[in-house]
C-alpha cells in the first residue's frame, strides 16, 4: 500500500477528531457562559440547574452512534483493501481496519453494558 493513502486516511481521521473535540469545547464554553450569566443576574432557577445536572449524568449518550460509525469505517477500509486486490494491500488495510473496528466494538459493548445496568433492554 502506498504511503500517501495511509497518510490521507490518518489525516482525515485526525481532522475529524480535532473538529469533534473543538465542538465539545465550544459547547462547554457556551454552557459555562450561560450559567455564569444566570448566576450574576440571580436568575439561576432550579429548573436550569436540574437540566444541567441531567445533561452531565448522561455521559455515554453518543457511544452507540460513534461505535457504529467506527465499525462502518473499519468495514469500509477493509472493503477498500479487498477491492485493491493485491495480497499486501489486503493485509495492510486489514491491519488499519482493526483499530476502528475494535474501538467501535468496545464503545458499543460499553454502551450495551451501561444500558443493561440501568435497567434498559
Average pLDDT, 10 consecutive residues per value, the chain (121 residues): 79 88 90 82 74 63 79 90 84 88 90 83 57
Domain that holds residue 25: 1-57
Contacts of 106 (CB under 8 A, 6+ apart): 67
68 shares a domain with 43: no
Q: Number of structural domains, the chain?
A: 2
Q: What is the pLDDT of residue 55?
A: 64
Residue 89: per-residue pLDDT: 82
pTM: 0.55
Q: How many CA atoms lie within 13 A of 9 on its CB side?
A: 18
Distance, in Å, from the CA atom of 83 to the CA atom of 23, rounded to the nearest integer, reads 35
Rounded distance between C-alpha atoms, residue 105 and residue 63, angstroms: 10
d(CA 87, CA 24): 41
Q: Are 63 and 91 part of one and the same domain?
A: yes
Q: Are residues 3 and 41 in the same domain?
A: yes
Q: CA triplet 36, 44, 57: central angle to 5 degrees? A: 80
Instruction: Please check whether residues 121 and 63 belong to one and the same domain.
Output: yes
Contact 100, 77 (CB under 8 A): yes
Amino acid at each position: 500500500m502506498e504511503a500517501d493513502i495511509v497518510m490521507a486516511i490518518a489525516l482525515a481521521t485526525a481532522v475529524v477528531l480535532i473538529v469533534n473535540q473543538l465542538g465539545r469545547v465550544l459547547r462547554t464554553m457556551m454552557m459555562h457562559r450561560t450559567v455564569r450569566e444566570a448566576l450574576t443576574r440571580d436568575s439561576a432557577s432550579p429548573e436550569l440547574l436540574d437540566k444541567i445536572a441531567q445533561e452531565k449524568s448522561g455521559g455515554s449518550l453518543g457511544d452507540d452512534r460513534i461505535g457504529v460509525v467506527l465499525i462502518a469505517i473499519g468495514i469500509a477500509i477493509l472493503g477498500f483493501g479487498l477491492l485493491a486486490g493485491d495480497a499486501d494491500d489486503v493485509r495492510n488495510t486489514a491491519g488499519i481496519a482493526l483499530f476502528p473496528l475494535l474501538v467501535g466494538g468496545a464503545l458499543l459493548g460499553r454502551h450495551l453494558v451501561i444500558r443493561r445496568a440501568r435497567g434498559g433492554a
